[in-house]
């Protein structure tokens, strides 16, 4: 039997990595069990490779409008082999760095499939072809960090050839002529924009009124308008009824309650479900909600000493959420008292323009009976946005009327995914709208528009038309 560990972590992805390092920093004996690649979905098949592709797509679009900056050049050509080679290089070096960092902290790394066989015992089954033997590791605390797994949409025809998921989309070497994307998550919209920049005719299909249903309505509308203006077809309020294969191999996407149908070569139709099967969670008494593990703000499950973090729990699927939950779980496992702050969790879409938000929307503030004030500034009046030639968007700040507490911010702007961090820090520090107004942004920068939006809350923006 292996030596007793303070913390055994099942899954070495975005959440598991953070938990391992933090528990080791606090002096714990830590083991991580990983069944595929360290760095998880985030590093290997999602955030990192996709953000690389989106960055390339942005460069391609920029090259296309080079003449607006006085640069004469031909239509850009993308060498897909070179593109994927560089993507893989970045992914490999980050993955190796992650693994080495855990080794440097004295974390024991075990390759295999982990599962709970008792409240305080993790069994590791060897992977196919491995020479390692099955082993059991006694644990004072266990952190379940097994992420999520791709799943087909429950649609007739979802298993047809040509229907693909995000992992395949990111690896695709040949850009399809016509692609449809059934969108529910920000990365679906991001992939639609990627394929469009690379030359596909793209249709974005979403049910309900709003693209990015999680976002502020105005932000979602601005993004949808921008996508439409650049040539992406958007099918709103479109529930997909089924998918058929045509004789020529193309796919016909049938939309419910209408004559509308979309014919494409490839269809991105994917979702992700918490990866909790076969982990022995229910057997040891852990309460679940469907496939997701139920946890409190300490990341504790219903069984003392067992924590769960990241995509295997309910809620938004973000690497930075998994990461932060990993730190909280590790600190609690090591005897500290930590809690997650979901109220300051940033949400983002790495689209062009970028969309990012934190805190309450106006609807949420209203539903909570909070009297609030709003400040808004269009990106179009910001000098740096003009220099970038990226003037679509708006920055909105919401503050409590009585005390000026910052309740939320909703940004559609170049650099929004970085700027939102500043608002989250201000909210963490319980800054008021006055402090956001007092902040001195660099000139010229998009940050100036954020300060202006804060000033607009008090109707003293320097650049908005005079009240």
Ligand X SMILES: Cc1cc2nc3c(=O)[nH]c(=O)nc-3n(C[C@H](O)[C@H](O)[C@H](O)COP(=O)(O)OP(=O)(O)OC[C@H]3O[C@@H](n4cnc5c(N)ncnc54)[C@H](O)[C@@H]3O)c2cc1C
Tokens of 383: 């000098």
274: CB partners within 8 A, 6+ apart: 148, 290, 291, 292, 293, 311, 312, 313, 314
CB 413 within 8 A of CB 422: no
Q: How far apart are CA 31 and CA 38, in angstroms?
A: 13
Q: How far is the CB of 323 from ligand X (least distance, A)?
A: 8
Q: How far apart are CA 258 and CA 205, in angstroms?
A: 14
Query: Each residue of 382-395: b (16+ CB within 10 Å) or e?
Result: bebbeebebebbbb
If the CB atoms of residues 15 and 378 are measured against ligand X, the closer one turns out to be 15
- Count of helices and strands (H, E) across the chain: 13, 24
CB 207 within 8 A of CB 185: no
A 10 A CB-CB count for 182 gives 27
Catalytic site residue 443?
yes
- Displacement of CA 312 from its chain's centroid (Å): 14
| Position with the least CB separation from ligand X | 13
Task: Considering the candidates 84, 320, 410, 443, report the single residue annotated as catalytic.
Answer: 443
Q: How far is the CB of 166 from ligand X (least distance, A)?
A: 4
If the CB atoms of residues 318 and 384 are measured against ligand X, the closer one turns out to be 318
Q: How far apart are CA 246 and CA 274, in angstroms?
A: 33
Dihedral in degrees, nearest 10, Cα atoms 184, 190, 194, 199? 50
If the CB atoms of residues 215 and 398 are measured against ligand X, the closer one turns out to be 215
If the CB atoms of residues 274 and 338 are measured against ligand X, the closer one turns out to be 274
If the CB atoms of residues 11 and 359 are measured against ligand X, the closer one turns out to be 11
If the CB atoms of residues 186 and 378 are measured against ligand X, the closer one turns out to be 186
Query: Each residue of 28-56: b (16+ CB within 10 Å) or e?
Result: bbbbbbbbebbbbbbbbbbbbbbbbbbeb
Tokens of 266: 């490839």
Q: How far apart are CA 173 and CA 88, in angstroms?
A: 13
Q: How far is the CB of 121 from ligand X (least distance, A)?
A: 14
C-alpha distance across the termini of the chain, in Å: 74
Q: How far is the CB of 187 from ligand X (least distance, A)?
A: 4
List, as own/partner pairs, every contact residues 400-403 make where C-beta atoms lie below 8 angstroms and the sequence separation is at least 24, other chains included. 400/370, 400/371, 400/372, 400/373, 401/371, 401/372, 401/373, 402/371, 403/432
Q: How far is the CB of 39 from ligand X (least distance, A)?
A: 7
If the CB atoms of residues 34 and 394 are measured against ligand X, the closer one turns out to be 34
Q: How far is the CB of 354 from ligand X (least distance, A)?
A: 11
Tokens of 132: 């390692």
Q: How far is the CB of 383 from ligand X (least distance, A)?
A: 29
Element spanning 205, H or E: strand 201-205
Interface residue list for ligand X (CB under 6 A) = 10-16, 33-37, 40-42, 46-47, 50-51, 113-114, 145-147, 166, 187, 272, 275, 279, 310-312, 317-320, 322, 350
If the CB atoms of residues 166 and 382 are measured against ligand X, the closer one turns out to be 166
Q: How far is the CB of 440 from ligand X (least distance, A)?
A: 30
Residues marked as catalytic: 443
């Amino acid at each position: 039997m292996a030596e007793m560990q303070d913390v055994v972590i099942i899954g070495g992805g975005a959440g598991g990595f953070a938990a391992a390092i933090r528990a080791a920093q606090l002096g714990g004996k830590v083991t991580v069990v990983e069944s595929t690649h360290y760095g998880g979905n985030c590093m290997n098949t999602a955030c990192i490779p996709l953000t690389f592709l989106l960055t390339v797509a942005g460069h391609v679009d920029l090259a296309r409008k080079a003449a607006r900056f006085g640069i004469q050049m031909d239509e850009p050509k993308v060498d897909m082999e070179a593109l994927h080679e560089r993507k893989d290089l970045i992914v490999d070096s980050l993955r190796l760095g992650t693994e080495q960092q855990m080794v440097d902290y004295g974390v024991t790394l075990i390759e295999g499939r982990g599962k709970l066989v008792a409240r305080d015992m993790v069994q590791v089954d060897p992977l196919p072809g491995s020479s390692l033997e099955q082993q059991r590791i006694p644990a004072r605390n266990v952190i379940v960090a097994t992420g999520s797994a791709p799943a087909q949409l429950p649609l007739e025809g979802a298993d047809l050839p040509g229907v693909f998921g995000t992992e395949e989309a990111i690896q695709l070497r040949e850009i399809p002529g016509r692609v449809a994307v059934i969108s529910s998550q920000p990365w679906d919209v991001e992939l639609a924009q990627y394929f469009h920049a690379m030359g596909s005719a793209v249709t974005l299909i979403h049910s309900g009124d709003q693209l990015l249903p999680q976002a502020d309505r105005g932000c979602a509308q601005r993004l949808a308008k921008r996508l439409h203006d650049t040539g992406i077809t958007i099918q709103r309020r479109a529930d997909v009824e089924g998918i058929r294969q045509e004789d020529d191999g193309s796919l016909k996407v049938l939309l419910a309650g209408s004559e509308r149908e979309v014919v494409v070569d490839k269809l991105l139709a994917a979702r992700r479900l918490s990866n909790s099967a076969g982990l022995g969670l229910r057997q040891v008494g852990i309460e679940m909600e469907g496939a997701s593990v139920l946890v409190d703000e300490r990341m504790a499950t219903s069984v003392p000493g067992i924590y769960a973090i990241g995509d295997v729990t309910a809620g938004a699927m973000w690497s930075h959420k998994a990461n932060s939950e990993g730190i909280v779980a590790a600190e609690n496992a090591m005897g500290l008292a930590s809690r997650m702050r979901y109220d300051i969790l940033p949400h983002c879409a790495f689209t062009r323009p970028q969309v990012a938000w934190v805190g309450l929307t106006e609807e949420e503030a209203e539903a909570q009976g909070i009297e609030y004030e709003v400040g808004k500034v269009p990106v179009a009046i910001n000098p740096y946005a003009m220099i970038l030639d990226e003037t679509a968007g708006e920055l909105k700040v919401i503050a409590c009327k009585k005390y000026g507490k910052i309740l939320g911010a909703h940004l559609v702007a170049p650099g929004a995914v970085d700027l939102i961090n500043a608002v989250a820090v201000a909210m963490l520090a319980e800054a008021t709208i006055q402090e956001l107004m007092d902040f001195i942004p660099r000139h010229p920068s998009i940050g100036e528009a954020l300060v202006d939006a804060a000033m607009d809350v008090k109707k003293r923006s320097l650049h908005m038309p005079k009240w």
